[in-house]
Amino acid sequence: MLKRLLISRIRIDRRSIQNFDWLIFAVVVLITVLGIMTIFSATRPVLEKGQPSFYLRQTVWLVLSIAALFVSVSFDYRRLEGIAYHIFGAGLILLLVTVLLGHTGMGAQRWLRLGPVSFQPSEFFKVGLIVVAARYLSTRPSPLTASSLLTPVCLFGVVPFLLLYRQPDLGTAVVLTGILIVMLLAKGVQRRVLLIGGLIVVLSLPFAGSVVWEGLKEYQRNRLVAFIDPKVDPKGIGYQIEQSKITIGSGKVLGKGYLKGTQGPFRFLPERHTDFIFSVYSEEWGFIGSLFLIALYALLIMRGFETAYNAKDEFGTLLSIGICVMFLLYTTINIGMTMGLMPVVGIPLPFFSYGGTALLTNFVCVGLLINVRMRRFALFY
């Protein structure tokens, strides 16, 4: 009996390995390599000597992230159900520690230091939120009632939002709220509860907006003002958006060519290797190159939603939906803000912007997508 069970498991594992999604893996590695190339170009020295090591650090993080992806693929994703609340609790503790003891940079207290290494707990928390929401919702009957919504709205939504808002990291707070809302809708909500909830949100918007506005720091208010009217102060609060649009527009159809862009290296464009790296890429590769990059993201997200549709169980479906929505929101918001279509909220472009913690987290999430896809044929045991 034991021998038969072991043989069965080996066959399942072999079949899972054969279904490893090399397409998703190739897409995210290609996007990351293009990002490293753009980081090198954006930070290359023009007026001074010495090349900053951002591209080298990102390369090291890519190697570590690929290793993390294979680790997240190596186990059955359903094991996460048993530790989902532990992961979420650890994430909340890290967010609280960040608020109390975090390192401040660029006006925000978002980083923790472990010796020479700094990391953003909010990046790791994204995974915890998606996992715990998928765990909770997969154990509840559909459609969700008002009582079933109490835990996800308060514990998974309001508490993390307040901790992130306190840092302040309003962009991540908004994205996580969006992820949670989509996962709730994917599970299904009673029509009466949905209508009443929507009415409450609409009626509370003026009050909530006023509270949020009063709690924002000056630079965050300036970003919103600049989004509404970039011409109000083109050399001040509207400088980022104006320079970003100039940089993208200067690439025209085919771009200036790799290492021939000027806005980034000459430092006309702020945050050229992080929040506004898409602008640098567009300047060098033009409209055609930008469409190619967007197509890669579209392929990743569509493949992820296909994984969700074909998942073996509801936990895998909700887990995949949460990850795909995260990539979709981050990509849309970042590209939108570089084009002046959305306010600047400090959202990086997934796999592309400089940032080791974000890259590692994103590769872990892709590993979980591949994990769900690999095991859609596996038997439950």
What range does the domain containing 134 cover?
Answer: 21-46+54-374
Domain assignment of residue 206, yes or no: yes
Asked whether 247 and 282 are in contact (CB, 8 A), the reply is: yes
**Cis geometry, peptide bond prior to residue 343 (ω within 30 degrees of 0):** no
C-alpha dihedral, 197 to 327 to 267 to 356, nearest 10°: 110
Residue 7 has pLDDT above 60, yes or no: no
pTM of the model: 0.90
| 342-353 per-position pLDDT tens digit | 888 888 999 999
Indicate the number of domains in the chain. 1
Structure tokens at 32: 């990351």
pLDDT band at 235, cuts 50/70/90? Answer: low
Has residue 156 been placed in a domain?
Answer: yes
Q: Average pLDDT of 178-196?
A: 89
Residue 209 domain-assigned (yes or no): yes
In this structure, is residue 379 part of a structural domain? Answer: no
Q: Is pLDDT at 48 greater than 70 in this prediction?
A: no
- Judge whether 213 lies within some domain: yes
Q: Tell which residue, 28, 50, 43, 62, has the closest CA to residue 280.
A: 43
Report how far residue 9's alpha carbon sits from residue 15's, in angstroms, rounded to the nearest whole number.
10
CA quadruple 33, 39, 44, 46: dihedral sign? positive
At 148, the pLDDT band (50, 70, 90 cuts) reads: confident
287: Cβ contacts below 8 Å, ≥ 6 apart? 251, 252, 253, 254, 255
| 82-86, 91-95, 196-200, 246-250: least confidently modelled range | 196-200
Does residue 2 register a pLDDT over 50?
no
Give phi and psi for 177, each to the nearest 5: -65, -40
What does the pLDDT read at residue 258? 92
**Counting Cβ atoms within 10 Å, is residue 78 exposed (0-12), middle (13-18) or buried (19+)?**
middle
| Paired residues of 118 in beta bridges | 113
Are the C-beta atoms of 55 and 277 separated by less than 8 Å?
A: no
Asked if residue 264 has pLDDT above 70, the reply is yes
Which pLDDT does position 155 carry in this prediction?
Answer: 84
In a domain, 67, yes or no: yes
User: Does residue 282 lie in a domain region?
Assistant: yes
Q: Using one digit for the tens of pLDDT, what is the confidence trace for 289-342?
A: 999 999 999 999 999 999 999 999 999 999 999 999 999 999 999 999 999 888
What pLDDT, on a 0 to 100 scale, did the predictor assign at position 358? 92
Q: Which residues of 144-170 are buried (b: 16+ CB within 10 A; e: fewer)?
A: beeebbeebeebbbeebbebbbbbbbb
Residue 15 within a domain:
no
> Of 177, 185, 54, which Cα lies nearest the Cα of 122?
177
Burial of 348: CB neighbours in 10 Å, binned 0-12, 13-18, 19+: buried
Pairing of strands 103-105, 117-119: unpaired
pLDDT at 30: 97
